[in-house]
Chains A and B, each alone.
Chain A
């Protein structure tokens, strides 16, 4: 853009506007969706690793009966943090990382709708995680379960209470839970709004809703779920904060509150959250399976609408987490029906994925292995989900290891396998280098076998009567063998992830050059260079069909099916002009303000815990950041 409007007179002139788009410092000011995507991935993977280490400690404690490896207190902190970390700081933001990086590329846009909001979302997420983990140094991590059931978490009873100035019987540890998740919720809301607006407004010309890649559809459904689920948990966390910190009586029956209310609010958020975590994986699988089968997705419309249906119905099943609470037979019957019903759209997806592979030419590259593994493992999770819906037997299953097995088959076998498929699939686009196939396959097999060893036996343990969340179990219950097997499986998974990390470090610089379109793919992001330029596309693509990029490569009427030249971006003649193109396309400038605004938020949270002065300090920083942001032009003339 050559005509930049007149600079408004701003307070921003006191600071030098950051200009650098490369180098270490640029990571703190970047508002490029691709760099933010990478930051999201690196941070989320770090938290994911922490959650994994916590899981290994837990499994070590449970490897044999009457173990004394961890104390009860440590165990409770670890299983709480494992759940929290994996849900809010591991798997969910890994999905966000994929959205951030890929969303504009896949719809042929130059950036997301609100680039600086995107940066804010990342920084708030990072600070929320740091805030939550700082509890470890300040006397103890939350210890009441990620589900934080009242009134246990209102009454607490941990020794930290007095240190932080709360009445001793109140749980200061769970204040970290409440405040940390409130912060994380701000990050989720910001990115949800951003993604929805981007998808609805910024698609390439010709890309109608029903021509969008399924991954984009699932991003849209996930973002809508986030937009409505986060406020629910936000309100509940706010209430919990007042119960713990100031003796309000939302959830404490001793003061007239209702502990079941917490459960309703928590699961009204918590069940859609399951789909927030799994839908991105559904989207990834729907991109990977067609490419490596060399066929279009089977039943695109059915997959899209089943995804939307799952999004809607995800709101109507929350009380199936509460069958043993005693809501009465009518409520239990209704939620049994809705839970069974939601299996139908899920089944549609699985059969359509099979239909995609059927009749194809399946290439067993690492992304495809993870995608097939995801379909196979998620099926098991789905089936055990249906058995939960038979409520009379659910009274036996609930709160046992059977449930732990079920949701790990969904969250790990489904979501994490799917995310891994996506990582191996898109790594060449991000880095311009291929991942090592041998290490990739080793990673896959270690993970598949380890995963089934770790979580398969938990089905049996649960049905043999082993409850969840127990720090230990007595000898003579018949649980020893399978617990040991599960622990071995856990370590095998860890080994698999070690191989993955080695592979990433090795391939980042040393992998084979990938080229623009190494997989013979179908979607727009493969039509630009690897890695993509800051402005994504030299020419904004025009979309005429679903799988437009594939159709351009393989002109459908041509009997010889000769691939055509990749027309936009990329190498070829366009490359010669790339420098000029970059000069002509004007992207928004980096900014300090998202970081500044985000930085005030954890300070305010510490203020709630320690001293009101910090609330004021943090508030001033955040408001100053927002003012600077508002007054700063999105881009300045260079």
Chain B
């Protein structure tokens, strides 16, 4: 009776673990789990997932073997009130050799594709790829589209990429408070040492690829590739980077090649010319309060400061402030302008103490920047 109860206990435990792992390997999880690593949406994530699909069943097999042996042992060899001690067996060399050799062999089998995968993923996607410079700041991401085709486009918290073409991310972490030099010919060359006073971030879009740490003082290269156009894949900073670490999110937006070229062309145009009324008032206020840190191509007072995000086509983005707020939501945007760190603790943008009418004008202006 006691043994049966125990058997039930272990059975329940085993069942629970299997159900849990069953959920984990469950196939199509898109939508329900938008940030799942087990639902690869591109060749890189898929190559990583394939190894998991190889190793996970082996792990489950060993799990069942060991837990099964425990259950059999406790049921079969439980104390039945014998007085004589059992046979005093001290070991069995052959058995021990077998259970040393077999795991070693299994691991050797796993090692081969693992090492192949490590070297394959480390290959530089090269010149053919779309070149994007990624800058991690506390607590948001900047994306600069490099080269002639990039046309100087800079976005924040949204990385737009074409499908079926590798993207070469050239990643750095810079100080949140120091303007980043804007020298396209040599983007890493002329920075002051102080701009290196950033912290470690980690760039992670589970649907498209595993993570890569972004470390101040180093440049890291990462490869990204997507297949399906018109998708928005969430990503998140994965290395603890301070107060708003949880709020350092972003999205990767996929386009067909033509769409992407169109998007890039539109983004390279200045925004917010010919404004009237409240929007024009906002533009003027922007010149007073915001240009010290933000750039809007097309703004008359633009002085190419690059501390905060480039806001040129702000209204064409869906998210802001580290990808945690909805752009369409004017009230949140207004709350942000009133005091950023109140709705995102740790945000580096200061409280400017703007009166409500100025906030409304700025919201109006920003929302015209399609």
Contact of B193 among A254, A296, A328, A474 (CB under 8 A): A254
Query: Nearest Cβ distance between residue A47 and chain B, in whole angstroms?
Result: 23
B129 lies within 8 A of chain A by Cβ: no
Query: Nearest Cβ distance between residue B35 and chain A, in whole angstroms?
Result: 3
Query: Nearest Cβ distance between residue A251 and chain B, in whole angstroms?
Result: 10
A8 lies within 8 A of chain B by Cβ: no
Which of B108-116, B144-152, B251-259, B288-296 touches A?
B108-116
Name the CB-closest residue of B to A560: B84
The CA of A169 and the CA of B340, in the complex, are separated in Å by 20
Query: Nearest Cβ distance between residue A477 and chain B, in whole angstroms?
Result: 6
Q: How many positions in chain A have a CB within 8 Å of any CB in the partner chain?
A: 104
Q: Which of A325-343 contact B (CB under 8 A)?
A: 325-326, 328-329, 332-333, 336-337, 340-341, 343
Query: Nearest Cβ distance between residue B351 and chain A, in whole angstroms?
Result: 15
Query: Nearest Cβ distance between residue A60 and chain B, in whole angstroms?
Result: 16
A506 lies within 8 A of chain B by Cβ: no
A364-B16 in contact (CB<8A): no
A561-B37 in contact (CB<8A): no
The CA of A111 and the CA of B236, in the complex, are separated in Å by 55
A383-B63 in contact (CB<8A): yes
Which of A71, A350, A355, A375 has the most B CB atoms < 10 Å from its CB? A355
B278 lies within 8 A of chain A by Cβ: no
The CA of A294 and the CA of B29, in the complex, are separated in Å by 50
Interface string of B338-369 (1 = CB under 8 A from A): 00000001100000000000000000000000
Q: A383 to chain B: which residues have CB within 8 Å?
A: 59, 62-63
The CA of A341 and the CA of B96, in the complex, are separated in Å by 17
Query: Nearest Cβ distance between residue B137 and chain A, in whole angstroms?
Result: 13
Interface string of B31-49 (1 = CB under 8 A from A): 0111111100000010111
A348 lies within 8 A of chain B by Cβ: yes
Q: Which of A470-489 contact B (CB under 8 A)?
A: 470-474, 476-478
Q: B196 to chain A: which residues have CB within 8 Å?
A: 253-254
Query: Nearest Cβ distance between residue B45 and chain A, in whole angstroms?
Result: 8
B103-A343 in contact (CB<8A): yes
Q: Given contacts A380-B63, A389-B114, A464-B29, are A361 and B215 in contact (CB under 8 A)?
A: no
A324-B91 in contact (CB<8A): no
B242 lies within 8 A of chain A by Cβ: yes
The CA of A94 and the CA of B199, in the complex, are separated in Å by 35
Contact of A561 among B84, B218, B242 (CB under 8 A): B84
A336-B245 in contact (CB<8A): no
Q: Which of A9-37 contact B (CB under 8 A)?
A: none
B91-A452 in contact (CB<8A): no
Query: Nearest Cβ distance between residue B22 and chain A, in whole angstroms?
Result: 10
Q: A362 to chain B: which residues have CB within 8 Å?
A: 73-74, 77-79
A76 lies within 8 A of chain B by Cβ: yes
Q: B89 to chain A: which residues have CB within 8 Å?
A: 295-296, 298, 355, 359
The CA of A252 and the CA of B217, in the complex, are separated in Å by 9
Q: B119 to chain A: which residues have CB within 8 Å?
A: 329, 333
Query: Nearest Cβ distance between residue A213 and chain B, in whole angstroms?
Result: 14
Query: Nearest Cβ distance between residue B323 and chain A, in whole angstroms?
Result: 10
Which of B50-58, B297-305, B306-314 touches A?
B50-58
Query: Nearest Cβ distance between residue A316 and chain B, in whole angstroms?
Result: 15
Q: B79 to chain A: which residues have CB within 8 Å?
A: 294, 361-364
Query: Nearest Cβ distance between residue A300 and chain B, in whole angstroms?
Result: 7
Q: A113 to chain B: which residues have CB within 8 Å?
A: none
A354 lies within 8 A of chain B by Cβ: yes
A260 lies within 8 A of chain B by Cβ: yes
A361-B246 in contact (CB<8A): no
Name the CB-closest residue of B to A479: B33
B107-A469 in contact (CB<8A): no
Contact of A326 among B45, B100, B215, B244 (CB under 8 A): B215
A393 lies within 8 A of chain B by Cβ: yes
Which of A150-158, A186-194, A535-543 touches B?
A150-158
B240 lies within 8 A of chain A by Cβ: yes
Which of A96-104, A395-403, A627-635 touches B?
A395-403
Given contact pairs A76-B243, A445-B9, A471-B246, a sample of 17 additional A-B residue pairs in the complex whose CB atoms are under 8 Å apart: A259-B215, A259-B217, A340-B111, A340-B114, A344-B103, A344-B104, A348-B99, A350-B66, A354-B73, A361-B79, A380-B17, A391-B118, A393-B48, A463-B37, A467-B237, A467-B238, A556-B88
Q: List 7 A-B contacts (CB under 8 A).
A: A145-B240, A299-B92, A324-B202, A354-B70, A358-B69, A465-B37, A478-B29
Closest 4 CB pairs of A and B: A395-B210, A465-B35, A253-B217, A470-B246
